[in-house]
Amino acid sequence: MPYSEHKSNPYDKEHAENILSVSSLNRMARSLLERNFPAVIVEGEISNLAIPSSGHWYLTLKDKSSQIRCAMFVNRNRMVRFKPQNGNQIIVRGRLSIYEGRGDYQLLLDGMEEAGDGALQRAFEQLKAKLLGEGLFADTQKQTMLSHYRHVGVITSATGAAIQDILSVFARRFPATRITLLPVAVQGRDAADEIVSAIQLANKLTEKLGIEALIIGRGGGSLEDLQAFNEERVARAIFASELPICSAVGHEVDFTIADFVADLRAPTPSAAAEQLSPDQAEYFELLITYNTQFQSAIKLAIRQGTQRLVWIAKQLKHPDRRLQEQAQNLDRLDLRLRKAMKTLISAQRSDLMQARRGLLASSPKQLLEYNHIRLSASHSRLDQSLRTQLVARRSSLAALSRSLNSVSPLNTLARGYSITYDSALKVIHSSDEVKVGATITSRLGKGEITSTVSEVSSEVSKRVAKPAS
């Protein structure tokens, strides 16, 4: 019996819907691989590196026992900061896929870095994510940095180029700014601890030194060289600082954890000095502008004042002219008076004489003399009143002093009485408060007597003390 008649043949037409093309199989495998391996980080050695005219990179990543083909397209490899070569040990980040055209299993690269910095970079990213989650990078936590400080502290190496660049910029832009260097190591094992100590010292001595802001920085270098500024303890010291801090680490392309935590990030130490210092040339230009505006305002005020004086002068009449007008008026009146009744003339003359007497009576000299006499009299009355009140007050004070002295305990003691109190300085009012053997102290008018009780009696002695002679 033929095989085809008794057994199912997977290649029969009835199973044709289950048959895949090569393209379909590769596509399914690619989808499955990309879905289950969205992103991986792999370390290995470069081999078979090819860079065609398209700019894409093709290479094989291998270790001692295995290898995998890799591709890094031009839009991704532009961000790589070194030139890869065969034999380089690298760390790559990418996603697994399949090149459908050949069915090749491959790794599509999104990032690449040299293995020497790889561990540091991973630690950098982990710390960055941690501090970001804690809010140390939040803008709400940052202090406002001014464009002008009277005293700036600089935390950097005393022998590096950074301090020279900072001093040069301040000297050029605003030489009046005071600079205090807090020297530290900027790389090496002890660098982070020294930076933390310098930040804490600057904050501790703020009032004594008068430092208003800090610049923390150094020149550029590798990731390992900048490691001190990527330490967690340095980041937390910057965050805890009460002084505002400007971070200026490396070159413009370098970013450190200190840059993210600091209140202000400057791309270079020189840029930090420029951001914290005003340009004196701008001040001079502003001063010239203000001076010009002031002079213009003064000239305008003088011109307006002059114009007002001229206008007032035009409104005023000369005294001679006014006198002439008045004389003419008097002449007209005289003529009218002469034509009037002689009786009326006599009455007018009488009124004139009376007015003259009144004018003399109201002379300023007489008024001043009269007021001077009144003032002298008032001064005498005031002086007498004060003396009377002073005598009365002194008498009242003496009476009060006598009354106070009569009820004073010290006066009572002076008459021969005493105040007795126990070792706890509690005043004894009754013999019941004292036991035999107790130490008591009696305060007299002059001095004290300390005694030991040998006998206690509740009966009052009939003996009467004689007054002191």
pLDDT tens digits for range 190-217: 999 999 999 999 999 888 889 999 999 9
Low-confidence ranges of the chain (pLDDT < 70): 1-17, 116-119, 252, 282, 316-318, 360-363, 366, 460-469
CA dihedral 250, 253, 256, 261 (to 10 degrees): 110
Q: Is residue 280 within 8 Å of residue 252, measured between CB atoms?
A: no
Measure the CA–CA gap between 203 and 196, rounded to whole angstroms: 11
Q: Is residue 231 within 8 Å of residue 192, measured between CB atoms?
A: yes
User: Dihedrals φ, ψ of 181, to 5°?
Assistant: -90, 125
User: Dihedrals φ, ψ of 190, to 5°?
Assistant: -95, 0
Q: What is the pLDDT of residue 4?
A: 45
Q: What is the pLDDT of residue 313?
A: 74
Q: What is the pLDDT of residue 117?
A: 58
Q: Which residues contact 298 (CB under 8 A, 6 or more apart)?
A: none
Q: What is the pLDDT of residue 461?
A: 59
- Closest to 238 measured CA to CA, from 248, 253, 251: 248
- The CATH code of domain 14-116 reads 2.40.50.140
- Give the global pTM: 0.43
Measure the CA–CA gap between 128 and 126, rounded to whole angstroms: 5
CATH 3.40.50.2300 fits 135-278, yes or no: no
Report pLDDT digits (tens) over 358-376.
776 666 776 777 788 888 8
- Closest to 218 measured CA to CA, from 169, 184, 168, 261: 184
